[in-house]
Amino acid sequence: MHNQNHHLGLKQKKEMVKQTSKSNCWHEMFGYINHARHSIIITYIAGWIK
């Protein structure tokens, strides 16, 4: 019984790690998109001021 519970806990931990790395990937993607959008806006404003 104890062994089974231990195994279950490990499985849950693995799932949690998977979820975490997934959300990290999303976070990085959103950061990249935000960064790209900022660069475009800055470039646009700089071109408009010229």
**Token code pair at residue 44:** 């646009």
The predicted structure's pLDDT at residue 11:
84
Q: How confident is the model at residue 1 (pLDDT cuts 50, 70, 90)?
A: low
Amino acid at the residue 47: G
Structure pTM? 0.40
Q: Which residues of 29-43 are buried (b: 16+ CB within 10 A; e: fewer)?
A: eeeeeeeeeeeeeee
Q: How confident is the model at residue 3 (pLDDT cuts 50, 70, 90)?
A: low
* Model confidence pLDDT, tens digit, residues 4-13: 777 778 888 8
For the chain, domain boundaries: 25-50
Q: Is the pLDDT of residue 2 over 70?
A: no
**Alpha carbon distance 27, 20 (integer Å):** 10
Angle in degrees, CA 27, 32, 34, rounded to 5: 95
* Model confidence pLDDT, tens digit, residues 30-44: 888 888 998 998 899
